Amino acid sequence: MAFNLFDAEDRILQQAEALRSQLAEAPDDVRAGVEALIQGFRRSVREARRLVRVSDRLHDQLARANHELARRKAEAEEALARLQDTQESLFQAEKLASLGGLVAGVSHEINTPVGIILSCASHLADATVHLRSLFEADDIGVEDFERYLGTAAEASRLILSNSERAANLIRSFKQVAVDRTSAERRRFDLRATLDETLVSLVVPLRQAGHALEFDCPPGIIVDGYPGALSQIVTNLVMNALTHGYDAGQTGRLTLAARLMGDFLRLDFADDGKGIPAGQRTRIFDPFFTTRRGQGGTGLGLHIVYNLVTAALDGTITVDTEPGQGTRFIIVFPTAS
């Protein structure tokens, strides 16, 4: 049996109808008053019924709206998860692309000392063969032996110095590569980490004809993520090379580090063409680039911003004017 919200009202109306029939002999004004009360109550009941129907419709609409909202919320959360996965994939791809450039740069740098080592070793081997032939022919003189000793000493010096140079390059590359491909937190020497990072940037800087000045006091120890810091510096340098100068233009870049209590300040600047006013608020946006189709992905500075604010727990600001170069100022705690 269905529940009727208006059972009491219906009973009152029935009683009122019965009362009206009992007042047939009552004065006209009494019967008119009772009739007016009955009609007023009847209208009130009709209005109440109408309001209940409206309330039911609104309740149904609200239920449907809540259902639709829940569905769209689930779709939005799913889309956000896909977007985060895509961003992470792009981030990893950018890191690997940067690491690929590092490999090429370090390989190019290692070729020089290795080439000198091979040349010296070959020259020393030839000199040794010549000295042995003189010795076996019993035709060796003091001057021949002294000449060989001079050649051996110089070749050994060059072999040792260039072997040490190649070993340092390889050691720097290995550490930077490990830092780039892991999210390991550790204590590290700031100057050593930045030195290792800059080694990988020698080739693109030299090819572009730019000079980079590095200023960092020794002995600054940071408890944080060296891979993130290395990626930040690499992206800033490559961004300057890509966007800071016109073709054929050379310039000067600077990287300076300063300790400010429990915080570090990194200043990276170039003396290039600067950033137009209309683009300054968008440079950290993902996929924003002025070199679309010319090698620009629009992810370099976006990754820098994310690494500074998330990994280093710091801030990054930009100071630039057209024709006056660009300066990025990064501040982060020494224990992030």
Write out the CATH class of domain 185-336: alpha beta
Q: Is 91 or 58 the better-scoring residue by pLDDT?
A: 58
Rg of the chain on CA atoms, in Å = 41
- Please state, in angstroms and rounded to a whole number, the distance separating the CA atoms of residues 225 and 140: 62
Q: What is the pLDDT of residue 327?
A: 95
- For every residue of 147-175, DSSP letters joined together read HHHHHHHHHHHHHHHHHHHHHHHHHHHHH
- Please state, in angstroms and rounded to a whole number, the distance separating the CA atoms of residues 32 and 23: 10
pTM of the full structure: 0.53
> What average pLDDT does the segment 162-188 reach?
67
For the segment 255-300, what is each residue's pLDDT rounded down to a tens digit? 999 999 999 999 999 999 988 887 777 888 766 565 544 444 556 7
What band does 66 get if pLDDT is binned at 50, 70 and 90? confident
In the block, residue with structure tokens 């290995």: 174
What mean pLDDT is reported for the chain?
Answer: 81
Q: What is the pLDDT of residue 1?
A: 40
Q: Would you say residue 115 has pLDDT above 70? A: yes
What band does 47 get if pLDDT is binned at 50, 70 and 90? confident
Q: Would you say residue 4 has pLDDT above 80? A: no
What band does 197 get if pLDDT is binned at 50, 70 and 90? confident
Q: What is the pLDDT of residue 294?
A: 47
Where would I find the H helices in the chain?
7-22, 28-136, 142-180, 190-199, 202-208, 226-243, 300-306
Show the CA angle centred on residue 296, arms to residues 203 and 169, nearest 5°: 20
Q: Would you say residue 3 has pLDDT above 50? A: no
Q: Domain ranges in the chain? A: 185-336
For the segment 69-93, what is each residue's pLDDT rounded down to a tens digit? 888 888 888 888 887 777 666 666 5
Q: What is the pLDDT of residue 223?
A: 93
